[in-house]
């Protein structure tokens, strides 16, 4: 955007609802031995949406409910066996965009603590950003 003076207009501050450190149980891994049992992943999820109505009304139904975000992420994680963190993060992001029509962007970070075959690494992971209307 440009202003009448020809300069760029500042972007409005992004409103976000987020969860950090959500523990997801999933059967995930490239090898069969990794997928043999569920393991804990740590997830951070942020959803960008206009929260001005909730800020004015002070009503839960006018925001993005943390409990629903948590429930959907847990449901997706446990819904099947996954090979890659990327696939699980993608599905969580897409489900949340579907669940919350006001959401414009979803960021999902997944961390696998102490990934196998990688001594000296505390965690490995991915961050995916998905925007409404962007293929």
Nearest alpha carbon to residue 53 among 113, 100, 102, 13? 102
Do residues 46 and 22 make contact, with C-beta atoms less than 8 angstroms apart? Answer: no
Residue 114 CA, distance from chain mean position: 21
* Beta bridge mates, 129: 107
DSSP string, 60-96: GGGS--HHHHHHHHHHHHTSSEES-HHHHHHHHHHHH
Tell me 2's DSSP state: B
Nearest alpha carbon to residue 41 among 31, 32, 28, 50? 28
pLDDT higher at 84 or 120: 84
CB atoms within 10 A of CB 86: 13
* pTM as predicted: 0.86
Model pLDDT for residues 89-126, shown as the tens digit of each residue: 999 999 999 999 999 999 999 999 987 777 888 889 99
Catalytic residue ranges = 112
Residue position matching structure tokens 């995916």:
128
Model pLDDT for residues 40-80, shown as the tens digit of each residue: 999 999 999 999 999 999 999 999 999 999 999 999 999 99
Residue extents of the structural domains in the chain: 16-131
pLDDT band at 135, cuts 50/70/90?
A: low
- CATH-assigned architecture of domain 16-131: 2-Layer Sandwich (3.30)
């Amino acid at each position: 955007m440009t202003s009448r003076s020809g300069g760029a207009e500042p972007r409005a501050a992004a409103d976000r609802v987020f969860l950090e450190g959500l523990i997801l149980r999933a059967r995930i891994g490239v090898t069969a031995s990794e997928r043999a049992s569920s393991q804990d992943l740590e997830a951070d999820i942020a959803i960008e949406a206009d929260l001005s109505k909730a800020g004015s009304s002070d009503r839960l139904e006018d925001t993005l409910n943390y409990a629903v975000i948590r429930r959907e992420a847990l449901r997706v994680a446990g819904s099947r066996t996954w090979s890659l963190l990327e696939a699980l993060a993608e599905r969580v992001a897409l489900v949340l965009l579907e669940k919350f029509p006001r959401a414009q962007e979803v960021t999902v970070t997944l961390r696998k603590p102490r990934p196998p075959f990688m001594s000296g690494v505390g965690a490995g992971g991915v961050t995916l950003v998905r925007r409404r209307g962007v293929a």
